[in-house]
Amino acid sequence: MIVGVYGLGRFGAFWATVLSDFFEVYASSRSPRSFADIPYKIVSQDELFRTCDTIFLCVAISAVESAVVSLRDMIRPGSLVIDTCSVKEYPLGVLEKLLPQDIGILGTHPMFGPDSAVNGIDGLPIVITPSIRTSYDAIAFWSEAFRKMGLRVHRMSAEEHDREAAYSQGITHFIGRLLDRLDLKDTPIATLGYRKLLEIREQTCNDPFQLFVDLQKYNYHTSEMRQSLVKALNEVLDTINKSIDYDDKSSIR
Ligand SMILES: O=C(O)C(=O)C[C@]1(C(=O)O)C=C[C@@H](O)C=C1
């Protein structure tokens, strides 16, 4: 079985490498790039869809629609398109709307990337969100394949995924970008907690800014998450303000 990867950005190039330990992998992208020392074969878009009947789509969330429009005539009937976006309801909706009925669709979200999987993928989580267009065989095959790759497979609906991810990955990227605006510096008196804050900033800001914007825009639950954050911030500020007695000179400097 030759597995295809379409999109060779930060995540696609990483995922093609990971898959190559378990499958023969062909990869292609809109703007052809040359890579040194890679375990997969770079092919033209034409060859990718002619050769592979399982294709991982590894494009930015905001690029899914235009990618599918430009590729759909090349995808053979009976193929399976596996989306890997960090949100699930939006891309699955686009794929279901734009791909012909005889092409299968499976949603996945590997909950890691090149930074978090620097020591390998063993034990890391991957979400699978079957759509109305996922065959039982495809769910069974890929759940087992991901397990054999050492991943922890979590099956849930796209809606459940997005709700949970808004309050886990979404909030992390939001806080990371907030911290980035403060220009925080390392210091010899850094506490463990402070070092963890700096790590969050580094981990999230190492990803393209587009990922941050897309996570906030295309996960329909992040707006509620942001409102909860603002409410929580105001409540904490209120508590502090109430505890400061502005007439008592000893409590303020
Ligand atoms: O390891 C990395 O490079 C990542 O940024 C991975 C990360 C994240 O930690 O938020 C980013 C995008 C994916 O949706 C999953 C996880």
CB atoms within 10 A of CB 176: 20
Task: Please compute the mean of the pLDDT values over residues 62-80 and round it to a whole number.
Answer: 97
The lowest-confidence range among 27-31, 43-47, 169-173 is 27-31
Residue pair 36/62 in contact by the 8 Å Cβ criterion: no
The lowest-confidence range among 2-6, 61-65, 68-72, 241-245 is 241-245
Task: Please compute the mean of the pLDDT values over residues 148-155 and round it to a whole number.
Answer: 98
Q: Output the CA 193–ligand 1 centroid distance in Å.
A: 21
C-alpha distances in Å from residue 151, one per residue of 30, 43, 172? 29, 28, 22
Q: For tokens 């993928």, what's the residue? A: 121
Residue to mutate, 15, 172, 207, 210, ligand 1, most ligand atoms under 8 Å from C-beta? 207
pLDDT at 72: 94
CATH class of 2-156: alpha beta
DSSP 242: H
- Tens digit of each residue's pLDDT (9 = 90 or more) over 115-139: 999 999 999 999 999 999 999 999 9
Q: Provide the strand spans (E) within 7-115.
A: 24-28, 41-42, 54-57, 80-83, 104-110
- Tens digit of each residue's pLDDT (9 = 90 or more) over 35-58: 788 999 999 999 999 999 999 999
Band of pLDDT at residue 251, cut at 50, 70 and 90 = low
Residue of the CA atom closest to atom 14 of ligand 1 = 86
pLDDT above 70 coverage of the chain, percent = 96
Question: Which part of the chain has CATH 3.40.50.720?
Answer: 2-156
pLDDT at 87: 98
pLDDT at 152: 98
Name residue 212's amino acid. F
> Is pLDDT at 8 greater than 60 in this prediction?
yes
Q: Output the CA 60–ligand 1 centroid distance in Å.
A: 13
Q: Output the CA 211–ligand 1 centroid distance in Å.
A: 9
All residues at 6 or more sequence positions from 125 whose CB lies less than 8 Å from its CB, including other chains: 111, 112, 151, 152, 153, 154
Residue of the CA atom closest to atom 10 of ligand 1 = 169
